[in-house]
């Protein structure tokens, strides 16, 4: 399977960090299976690499990468983790056209998931985690996420009616939709079919 680079996008409080933790199977990993690189911050697991440090704090993940460190952090990934099966860039730090240009120059076409939710639900979510972000700033971050999602042709998931586990299931199948069943012809040779560990849900794409 080719290595993949995934942007997880959306307004503040929509659940980006929670989804990334799910894609990493973070809550089932042993401590020895998780490495936090120090200065240029990455969370390294056996199959998935995520920008920033995932430690369980309210604002972790790529939010722990300084704005002036994003370029160096990406270069460090290219030098050390380029062939990791799945690399995840979440939130605002890496959502720039120059990052996409760099990825494409390195031969990686980025993919994306844009998480959306009802505005009232988002406000409740931000209040529950003690977030005191300025409303104008929040609207700006939301607009930027949507514009960048269009730029990379990201999939959209409305998370309003899903639990975090449900969002994870839908995300897995957005990334790896089930192959359509053939209408005519012989049955496929199951012994030659590849099983994709990132798609384990009953939903369609």
Tell me the per-residue pLDDT of 99-132, one tens digit each, with 9 for 90 and over. Answer: 999 999 999 999 999 999 887 777 777 777 666 6
Burial 62-81 (b: 16+ CB within 10 A, else e): bbbbeeeebeebbebbeeee
The pLDDT of 143-169, averaged and rounded, is 94
Block residue for tokens 């089932």: 28
- List strands edge to edge, sheet with 48-51: 35-36, 42-44, 48-51, 86-90, 4-9, 111-116, 155-158
Nearest-CA neighbor of 126 among 9, 6, 12, 10? 12
pTM for the predicted model, two decimal places: 0.83
Backbone angles phi, psi at 33, to 5 degrees: -95, 0
1, 196 Cβ separation under 8 angstroms: yes
Average pLDDT, the chain: 84
Residue 184's CB is within 10 A of a number of other CB atoms, namely 4
Alpha carbon of residue 84 to chain centroid: 14
Cβ distance 112 to 16 under 8 Å? no
pLDDT confidence tier of residue 56, bands split at 50, 70 and 90:
confident
pLDDT tens figures, 175-189: 987 766 555 544 444
């Amino acid at each position: 399977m080719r290595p993949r680079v995934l942007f997880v996008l959306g307004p503040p409080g929509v659940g980006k960090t929670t989804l990334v933790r799910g894609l990493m199977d973070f809550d089932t990993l042993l401590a020895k299976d998780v490495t936090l690189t120090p200065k240029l911050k990455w969370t390294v697991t056996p199959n998935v690499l995520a920008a920033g440090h995932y430690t369980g704090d309210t604002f972790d993940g790529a939010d722990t990468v300084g704005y002036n460190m994003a370029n160096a952090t990406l270069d460090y990934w290219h030098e050390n983790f380029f062939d990791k099966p799945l690399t995840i860039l979440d939130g605002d730090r890496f959502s720039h056209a120059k990052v996409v240009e760099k990825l494409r120059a390195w031969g990686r076409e980025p993919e994306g998931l844009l998480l959306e939710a009802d505005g009232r639900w988002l406000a409740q979510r931000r209040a529950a985690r003690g977030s005191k972000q300025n409303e104008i700033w929040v609207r700006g971050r939301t607009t930027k996420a949507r514009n960048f999602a269009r730029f990379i042709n990201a999939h959209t998931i409305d998370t309003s009616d899903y639990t975090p586990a449900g969002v994870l299931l839908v995300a897995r199948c957005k990334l790896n939709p089930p192959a359509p069943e053939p209408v005519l012809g012989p049955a496929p040779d199951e012994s030659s079919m590849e099983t994709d560990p990132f798609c384990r849900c009953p939903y369609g794409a």
